[in-house]
Amino acid sequence: MTPIITAFEASPDRGKGQARDMRVRWALEEVGQPYEVRLLSFKAMKEPAHRALHPFGQIPTYEEGELALFESGAIVLHIAQHHAGLLPTEAVARSRAINWIFAALSTVEPPIIEREAAWFTERDKPWYAEHGPMLDERVRRRLGELSARLGEHDWLDGAFSAGDLTMVMVLRRLSSTGLLGAYPNLLAYVARGEARPAFQRAFAAQLAVFTAASGT
C-alpha cells in the first residue's frame, strides 16, 4: 500500500527543505518506498478533516492503510522499523541508532527552535539584545557537545541511520545562521547527509512543489 504524507501547499521556507515533511520524504527515499503527497493550505491544516489526523493541525502526517501517524520523528521511526536500510539489524546497535532520533528531537532541536521562534517574534523588542545571545549560547552548547561526540566519524554511531537522518535535518535548520561555522565536523556531517542521493531526490520533490505553487 502506497503511504500518503501531507506537506505545505506553499512552504514558508520557499523550497529550502526545512519543513518537516522533508524528513519523511528523505526516509522514504532512503528505503525506496514510493509515496503520495497531499498538499495542504494553512487553512486546510486547521480544519476538522486534517485535525482528525493531526490533533495540532500541522504537517507532516503519514497514512498507510488503517495506520495514521503524526510527528515527524514517529513517522521516520515507523519507516525505519518497517523497511531495511535505516536501522541496524543487531538489537543493541538498533537501540543506539533510535536513541539518536530522540536526541535530535528532544535535546538538539528544542534550543534551535526556541532561538528561531524568538528571532521571528521578538527581534524588534528591547529585551532581545540580551535574550538573543543567551539563546545563541544554548544552541552553541549543544553543538559543541554534539561536535565532540561526532569527532572525525562520518556518522554518529557506525553506519548512516535514521538517527543521522533526523540529526542532519535538525542541524540544517541552522543553515542560514552561521552558528554551524564554528564546528567544521558538523558542517561536513550535514554536507554528507545532503549529498546522499535519497536526500537529493527528497529535496527536489519538495522544491518542485514550491516552484509549481509560486509559478517560478
Ligand X SMILES: N[C@@H](CCC(=O)N[C@@H](CS)C(=O)NCC(=O)O)C(=O)O
Q: Residue 51: helix, strand or coil by DSSP? A: helix
Residue with Cβ nearer ligand X (24 or 147): 24
Shortest reach from residue 75's CB to ligand X, in Å: 8
Which H or E run includes 63? strand 61-64
CB burial class (10 A; 0-12, 13-18, 19+) of residue 131? Answer: middle
Q: Is 150 in the site for ligand X (CB under 6 A)?
A: no
Please list every residue from 39 through 98 that binds ligand X, using CB under 6 A.
45, 58-59, 71-73
Using Cβ positions, the residue closest to ligand X within the complex turns out to be 58
Residue with Cβ nearer ligand X (3 or 147): 3
Please list every residue from 12 through 41 that binds ligand X, using CB under 6 A.
19-20
CA distance 150 to 174: 18
Residue with Cβ nearer ligand X (32 or 42): 42
In the sheet with 67-70, reading across from the earlier edge strand, the strands are: 36-40, 4-8, 61-64, 67-70
Residue with Cβ nearer ligand X (20 or 172): 20
Shortest reach from residue 188's CB to ligand X, in Å: 25
Shortest reach from residue 21's CB to ligand X, in Å: 7
Interface contacts to ligand X, rule CB under 6 A:
19-20, 45, 58-59, 71-73
